[in-house]
Amino acid sequence: MVKKKTTILNATGLHARPAATLVKLASKFSSKIFLQKDSVEVSAKSIMGVMSLGAEMGSKILIIADGEDEEDALKQMHNLIKSKFGEES
């Protein structure tokens, strides 16, 4: 199991499009992937779960990956968030 803290950087936070992009990426991995904000933990493979976090710009989240491709999953999930989901230059 690997974990990494990150911050939502895009201005609109995890609204529908970035949440869908995140879920699509997470679903490519066999590992279990979770996002945790405050005391709430949800599957990163669930659009409803991800959106229920209400993660706005500046929100601190923890990415948790557990499985055979956990390192790659964690890296790619973090890079997607760090890239602001391609919404901003």
For residue 16, what is the domain's CATH number? 3.30.1340.10
- pTM for this model (two decimals): 0.94
Which of the residues 12, 13, 15, 75 is marked catalytic?
15
Rounded mean pLDDT, 5-26: 94
pLDDT confidence of residue 88:
65
- Cβ–Cβ under 8 Å, residues 58 and 8: yes
pLDDT-derived band at 23 (thresholds 50, 70, 90) equals very high
pLDDT-derived band at 86 (thresholds 50, 70, 90) equals confident
Mean pLDDT of the chain: 95
Separation in Å, CA 58 to CA 1, 2, 15, 29: 25, 22, 13, 26
**Structural domain harbouring 24:** 2-86
Q: Does residue 78 have an active-site annotation?
A: no
